[in-house]
């Protein structure tokens, strides 16, 4: 049971309840309040920290590597691809403008895609580089956003790669500081964030939607005129019928490497491996393609199989890694969400209840702009 005080403070009836305090949930709250600062909004987060990928990712602020864009152009069509890339590109700019580079640890180090010797994908990228730059110029205003940078492979102390494409406009962020900064911004605008609040069910009504919430061993009911579920890969628990598949992304972080030369965000093997410097340490993620079925999970634990693939990648491709000590490594995982068409999903489940999810691995860049669409739709609905 809840007390009188709780009922008349924390549990007051809401205009909008948002389920999930990750990037998309926070940006949605931000946009709603920017459009109507009188709204009463509460964000309910089941973990003591955001529980999906927002604070468990690799900290990339990127809009798409050349090989990924080519794959998407073949499967999605030009209009949809360039529309999504435009949203990602604008999202990075908006994030920096609203929150500030220093507060979120943004560094404009550039992006790179590397190719192993004899990799057929390189010929495909090389022959389509002009078309990719033409498409990106309409978005970025830069005539040659992607350009060959083979000579930098050795300068970056990488090995086992023969070709490299560089791009401007991408960078790295401190994912923890990003979410903390955005949370502070949203609270300042008037939203309430409740951690440790697990939404078990949503009972839709004509006027009020009731959210059954478990928190600290108790059950409480929040009432809201509108509900937006932004739980990413965990959406399947509340809305199992939607075309949303979880995808675990595993990461390792090496101990410090004295004099580490590598700087920037890198993609390899069609983006299934991704790495960056984190100070003088190497952060590496990926290898999901080696075991798709097993990685279609919301589990936040790491697996021996994927971590072994990541270990092997470190030994093969980082010249400065050398004989790293056994101590000082960190390993973790986060849960992304994907749709079959690689488009973000905004779905009205029933009157007054929406699902907003699936930035398809690009939540840092895409969520600031996707949230504008979510907020406008919810306010009009």
pLDDT at residue 17, rounded to an integer: 98
The superfamily CATH assigns to domain 4-55+177-242+342-380 is FAD/NAD(P)-binding domain (3.50.50.60)
pLDDT at residue 49, rounded to an integer: 86
pLDDT at residue 87, rounded to an integer: 98
Shared fold status for 4-55+177-242+342-380 and 60-173+244-338: no
pLDDT at residue 200, rounded to an integer: 95
First to last CA, the chain: 33
CA angle centred on 253, ends 252 and 259, rounded to 5°? 145
- The answer to whether the CB of 192 falls within 8 A of the CB of 25 is no
pLDDT at residue 215, rounded to an integer: 87
CA angle centred on 210, ends 206 and 215, rounded to 5°? 175
pLDDT at residue 234, rounded to an integer: 86
- The answer to whether the CB of 270 falls within 8 A of the CB of 306 is no
Q: For domain 60-173+244-338, give the fold.
A: D-Amino Acid Oxidase; Chain A, domain 2 (3.30.9)
- The answer to whether the CB of 66 falls within 8 A of the CB of 95 is no
Domain spans of the chain, in order of start: 4-55+177-242+342-380, 60-173+244-338
DSSP 211-255: EEEEETTEEEEEEEEEEEE--GGGHHHH-TTSS-EEEEEEEEEPP
pLDDT at residue 226, rounded to an integer: 97
pLDDT along the chain (381 residues), means of 10: 87 95 97 98 93 92 96 95 98 98 97 96 97 97 96 97 95 97 98 96 92 90 96 88 93 97 96 96 97 94 98 97 93 94 94 95 97 98 83
Token pair for 356: 């907003």
Q: For residues 25 and 38, give the distance between their C-alpha atoms in angstroms, rounded to a whole number.
A: 18
Q: What are phi and psi of 126, to 5 degrees?
A: -60, -45
Output 197-202 pairs: Cβ under 8 A, ≥24 positions apart: 197/44, 197/45, 197/46, 198/46, 199/19, 199/44, 199/46, 199/229, 199/238, 201/238, 202/227, 202/229, 202/238, 202/353
- Residue 327 CB neighbour total at 10 angstroms: 6
- Residue 176 CB neighbour total at 10 angstroms: 16
For β-strands 281-286 and 218-229, DSSP reports them as: unpaired
Alpha carbons within 13 angstroms on the beta-carbon side of residue 350 total 13
pLDDT at residue 102, rounded to an integer: 98
The SS3 assignment for 7 reads helix
């Amino acid at each position: 049971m809840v007390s009188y005080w709780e009922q008349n403070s924390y549990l007051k009836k809401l205009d909008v309840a948002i389920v999930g305090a990750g990037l998309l949930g926070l940006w949605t709250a931000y946009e709603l309040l920017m459009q109507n600062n009188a709204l009463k909004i509460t964000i309910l987060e089941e973990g003591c920290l955001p529980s999906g990928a927002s604070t468990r990712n690799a900290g990339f602020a990127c809009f798409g590597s050349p090989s990924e864009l080519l794959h998407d152009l073949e499967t999605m069509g030009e209009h949809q691809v360039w529309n999504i890339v435009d949203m990602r590109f604008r999202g990075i700019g908006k994030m920096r403008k609203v929150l500030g580079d220093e507060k979120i640890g943004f560094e404009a180090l550039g992006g790179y895609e590397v190719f192993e010797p004899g990799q057929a994908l390189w010929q495909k990228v090389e022959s389509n580089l002009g078309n990719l730059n033409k498409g990106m110029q309409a978005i970025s205003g830069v005539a040659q956003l992607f350009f060959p940078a083979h000579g930098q492979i050795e300068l970056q102390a990488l090995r086992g790669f023969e070709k490299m494409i560089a791009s401007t406009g991408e960078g790295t962020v401190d994912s923890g500081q990003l979410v903390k900064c955005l949370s502070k911004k949203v609270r300042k605008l008037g939203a309430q964030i409740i951690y440790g609040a697990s939404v078990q069910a949503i009972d839709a009504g004509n006027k009020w939607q009731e959210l059954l919430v478990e928190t600290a061993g108790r059950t409480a009911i929040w009432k809201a005129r509108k509900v937006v579920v932004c739980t990413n890969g965990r959406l399947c628990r509340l809305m199992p019928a939607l075309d949303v598949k979880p995808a675990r992304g595993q990461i390792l972080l090496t101990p410090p490497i004295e004099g580490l030369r590598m700087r920037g965000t890198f993609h390899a093997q069609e983006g299934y491996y991704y790495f960056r410097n984190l100070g003088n340490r190497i952060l590496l993620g990926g290898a999901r393609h080696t075991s798709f079925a097993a990685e279609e999970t919301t589990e936040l634990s790491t697996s021996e199989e994927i971590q072994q693939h990541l270990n092997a990648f470190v030994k093969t491709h980082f010249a400065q890694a050398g004989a790293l000590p056994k101590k000082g490594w960190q390993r973790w995982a986060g849960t992304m969400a994907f749709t079959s068409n690689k488009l973000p999903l905004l779905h009205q489940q029933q009157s007054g209840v929406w699902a907003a999810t699936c930035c398809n691995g690009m939540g840092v860049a895409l969520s600031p702009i996707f949230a504008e669409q979510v907020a406008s739709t919810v306010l009009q609905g």
